[in-house]
Structure 1
Amino acid sequence: MDGLGDEDDGLLWERDPEKHRVASKAMSPAFSSNALRAKIPTLNKYIDMMISQMRDHGQDEAGLDVSEWFTWLAMDSATDLACGWELHELRDMKSHDFLEGMDAAGMLAIVLSTAKIYPILTPAVMLLTSWRAMTLIPKMINGLRAKVVERIERRDSLMHPDFCEQLLPVGKEVPKTRKQLRHMLTVLGQLIIGGYDTTSVVTYMFFFFVLRNPEVLRELKREIRENFPRYEDITAENLKSLPWLNACMQETLRVVTVATHHSLPRISPGAMVNGIYVPKGVICRTSLFTYNRSERFFHDPSSFRPERWLARDHPKYDPVFADDNHRGYMPFITGPRQCPGREMAKITFRLVVSKLFWSFDVVQVSKRLEFDKDFRVYSIWTKPELRVRFLPVKREV
């Protein structure tokens, strides 16, 4: 959604510190504890719908492709929580044009950034962009614009709390200029991308790793099922205290850097860093993916080992991880640029994983994937087909 407005990079991609501060301050109440709590029923609606659909369709020998299902869950909830836009992907079990436009935009972002760095290659890299992508992206933007305008018109009769409510609270004048509307579109578009990408990638990647680690899965099912006798007992608040579940979440976020392979660029104000002067105006980046997989900071960094995040008195704690350096672990960045939706992302992961493994035993039926061979990231992670059977847990009545 970058570039929806003229010289307006919204919230997440605004490089100017002062503009970012203003945009961040305006949106911060939408991510308060009370505001997030009010959004959980909408999130649960989609998680429960996915569970129901998996119960009906997930037992077949062919299984379900979780790359599709987690994408549908993420997009349905992201657009509804942004501006009350219901895509019905889970209900209809198929992707909406808006989702296809998002994927096309992710690829186009890489193509354009490459062209910016190497202008001589611009004609060649533009050939990599299909005409279908060029038609899907305007359609995606126009679709969002229409839904935001519709949301503005029904501002006094909300279906549920959403992020648009913060951009356009009751009593505030509606956008009167194209610039004001573009700003709303840019911010909401970025929130949709952030919510969609984080949820779909983290839940999918967790499944990828946990299916390769039976002991991790066995302990997770034990923890969830022993703590919650009934499905209705699973709440966002109760899940905060489950050590193994939260260790699995932290480890997934370590092994797979969400959204992109590097942090967003920052422009140096002119400063000394580790004894080296970085002149004013220099664009700086750091690779969180590289840090999180470095032997300098983590023991056995390429392996999925939730034990590294446990307290030392936990039965599953392994002292080989005692010297892991957690200080640089920042999956949602840190400081004033920290991801505003980090708590919602954690809530979503806990609820999705807990409700799924309370409800089902899972069996992978597709071929075994290799992380370094089968995965790619083009601004947004690609997710290869991963087919899983969902077998309802039989419980004594």
Structure 2
Amino acid sequence: MSSLIHNLARFLEMNRDQYLWHAISVVFYWYIAIAIHDIFFHPLARCPGPWISKFSQLPNFYHAIKGDRHIWIWQNHQIYGDKVRIQPNEVVFLAPQASRDIYGSKANVRRSKSYEAWKTVKEANTILTIDPAAHARKRRILNQAFTEKSVKHATEFVSVHTERWIDLISQEKDITTDDGWTRTRNMSDWNDWLVFDILGDICFGRSFDIKEPGPNPIRVMPRLVIKHVQMFYPILQSPFMKFFVWAKPKGLDYLLKLVTPQEVKNYYKFIGDSCKSEQDSRLDMFHFLCNARDPVTNEPYTESALRGEAAMLIVAGSDSTSSVLAGFWFYISRNERAYRRLTDEIRTTFTASEEIKSGPKLASCVYLYACIDESLRMVPAGPSELAREVLAGGATINGEHFPPGVVVGCAPWAMGRNELIFGDSTKFRPERYIPSETTGISVEDVSRIKSYYNPFLIGPGNCAGKNIAMAEIAIVIAKTLFRVDLRAVPGEDLGAGHPSMGWGRRDENQYQVEDAYITVHEGPMLQFKKRMV
């Protein structure tokens, strides 16, 4: 006892510098102990991966800041195989069975903690709800807004906006060459403007009108959404993620609102006004959301939940469609054979642009949908993994058991470039989705690649708006290629790979994107010329 008292007295007599040194020592040895545990005793200790990632999140954080995290994950799969430990507590997979085990309806997982950091309203929307039971309840209600009836009405708005968009990108006053080609268009911008206007009309019965000429404060919204996720994404892939989630309801959310740009506030005001306004007889998506009820409890959306779902519809819907369209324009403008086959199919199937709408005739355009599937593979809406946390009882993934608390996932960018599944995985080859004796592709071959790669996910977390998204993409492409010719601008390579960009990004025929949870993209630069029908 006297020895203990003596040591305590010595501790109390230390000066400030000595206290600081002891504190630093404690923290240092604490992290050394954690590192030793993570390297040798963690449940993922035997998983292959970069050595530093066994005990540190810094490589993951670094590549999230750079925007090339999807490339880094792909590189690690090339080095270490189907299973890679990319963080001390996270492993990503490439094997076909792994995706079904993680995202399937029977998977014993939930969304990871990082999803909570994206919340902007009091009640999380369906995508950001991590509790499986709460997510299932929200999804039951949300599904009622994506029925066959709602899809049919939505595509009518898509057609109107697409026709106007084509008028704008091919207008005569912008013709700059003697043979009728327009001035250069950055298709990432033009895609964003079109899709935002479509979604505003589909969801709320009011277009943002950002594709129209003239000043419009909402026109910067697509870019601000990108800046928003680019700012938050590295935080969620950093050692500070848990602190960030903890701090948001304790004052951080208030500070973030103070620095929110006015354009973003205008956007949320637009959504709020739509939520409060009386709904007329027009059957837009918001009409279906307002009238949706939980089939089990008969409860509708609360106002807070309605705001959250409304914001989610715009952001999730615009990013996925715009990125896939950007990838499609890039690849189709650089593949003459595919371009000719697709334009021939569209222009022989339809005799007028007004005929192009959802239905059997559009569905008969086999090569069109093969091009869309190939674009979804080459340019996924989210290039890196949608992280899932293993729940109590553990989970068996690709034949291996993983304990509760481990984070798992599959990265679409890496999956879409799996040479064991796709062979020439870096080539834009829509024919891989079409059974044919000429090409030697069987029905089984097509089924195998489609069961492996699911751009809209599977199971309870699959995309509720898949049918609308596919119809929207098909109508935009078909109407555009029916009415106009297009070409890549000679000498312009915005969005293309380059030898200086490093491993995985050197190919000039590959469309390159940045990873910020969503897919951030630029280009391609195209010109248009009206068809003489």
Structure 1 residue runs without a partner (length 5+): 122-132, 173-178
Q: Does 1:104 align with 2:227?
A: yes
Structure 2 residue runs without a partner (length 5+): 1-116, 178-182, 245-255, 295-300, 498-504, 507-511
SS at match of 2:170: helix
1:306 CA displacement? 0.3
SS at match of 1:304: coil
Q: Does 1:167 align with 2:289?
A: yes
SS at match of 2:526: strand
Letter in 2 for 1:13: L
1:217 CA displacement? 0.2
Structure 1 Cα separation of the partners of residues 422 and 268 of structure 2: 45
Letter in 1 for 2:523: E
Match of 1:23 among 130, 138, 141: 138
Structure 1 Cα separation of the partners of residues 144 and 185 of structure 2: 38
Q: Is the 8 A contact 2:370 2:434 kept in 1?
A: yes
Q: Is the 8 A contact 1:225 1:358 kept in 2?
A: yes
1:209 CA displacement? 0.7
Partner of 1:389: 527
Q: How does 1:277-356 map to 2 (within 5 A)?
A: 277-312=401-436, 317-319=439-441, 323=445, 325-326=448-449, 327-356=451-480
Q: For each residue in 1:17-45, what CA deviation from the matched residue of structure 2 results, as whole angstroms up to 9, or x when unmatched?
A: 11110111011111111111011121112
Partner of 2:211: 90
SS at match of 1:297: helix
Q: CA 1:110–1:156 in structure 2 vs 1: closer, same or farther (change >3 Å)?
A: closer
Q: Is the 8 A contact 1:4 1:182 kept in 2?
A: no
Q: Is the 8 A contact 2:483 2:531 kept in 1?
A: yes
Q: For each residue in 1:19-76, what CA deviation from the matched residue of structure 2 results, as whole angstroms up to 9, or x when unmatched?
A: 1101110111111111110111211121111011122155335322211111101111
Q: For each residue in 1:74-122, what CA deviation from the matched residue of structure 2 results, as whole angstroms up to 9, or x when unmatched?
A: 111122222234211111267624333312212122132134457899x
The number of residue pairs the alignment matches comes to 375
Q: Is the 8 A contact 1:268 1:284 kept in 2?
A: no
1:137 CA displacement? 4.0
Structure 2 Cα separation of the partners of residues 359 and 249 of structure 1: 19
Q: CA 1:136–1:220 in structure 2 vs 1: closer, same or farther (change >3 Å)?
A: farther
SS at match of 1:155: coil
Identity of aligned residues (%): 20
Structure 2 Cα separation of the partners of residues 182 and 140 of structure 1: 21
Match of 1:75 among 196, 214, 225: 196
Structure 1 Cα separation of the partners of residues 429 and 472 of structure 2: 21
Q: CA 1:180–1:58 in structure 2 vs 1: closer, same or farther (change >3 Å)?
A: same
SS at match of 1:90: coil
SS at match of 1:284: strand
Deviates more, 1:323-332 or 1:353-362: 323-332
Could you list the structure 1 runs, at least 4 aligned residues long, displaced by more than 6 angstroms after superposition. 118-121, 133-136
1:354 CA displacement? 0.5
SS at match of 1:388: strand
Q: For each residue in 1:163-208, what CA deviation from the matched residue of structure 2 results, as whole angstroms up to 9, or x when unmatched?
A: 3223322999xxxxxx943322221111111110111111111010
Q: Is the 8 A contact 1:268 1:283 kept in 2?
A: no
Partner of 1:240: 363
Q: How does 1:133-172 map to 2 (within 5 A)?
A: 137=260, 139=262, 142-157=265-280, 160-169=282-291
Q: CA 1:255–1:266 in structure 2 vs 1: closer, same or farther (change >3 Å)?
A: farther
SS at match of 1:381: strand
Q: Does 1:53 align with 2:176?
A: no
Partner of 1:64: 185
Deviates more, 1:204-213 or 1:108-117: 108-117
Structure 2 Cα separation of the partners of residues 152 and 251 of structure 1: 37
Q: How does 1:4-43 map to 2 (within 5 A)?
A: 4-6=120-122, 8-43=123-158
Structure 2 Cα separation of the partners of residues 156 and 65 of structure 1: 36
Deviates more, 1:50-59 or 1:185-194: 50-59
Structure 2 Cα separation of the partners of residues 215 and 69 of structure 1: 25
Deviates more, 1:371-380 or 1:326-335: 371-380
Structure 2 Cα separation of the partners of residues 239 and 119 of structure 1: 48
Letter in 2 for 1:112: I
Structure 1 Cα separation of the partners of residues 166 and 259 of structure 2: 30
Letter in 2 for 1:187: E
1:243 CA displacement? 0.8
Q: CA 1:80–1:116 in structure 2 vs 1: closer, same or farther (change >3 Å)?
A: farther
Structure 1 Cα separation of the partners of residues 130 and 293 of structure 2: 30
Match of 1:263 among 371, 386, 391: 386
Partner of 1:200: 322
Deviates more, 1:304-313 or 1:142-151: 142-151
TM-score, scaled relative to structure 1: 0.85
TM-score, scaled relative to structure 2: 0.65
Match of 1:370 among 475, 489, 496: 496
Q: Is the 8 A contact 1:59 1:389 kept in 2?
A: no
Structure 2 Cα separation of the partners of residues 321 and 240 of structure 1: 18
Aligned-residue Cα RMSD (Å) equals 3.0
Q: Is the 8 A contact 1:144 1:185 kept in 2?
A: no
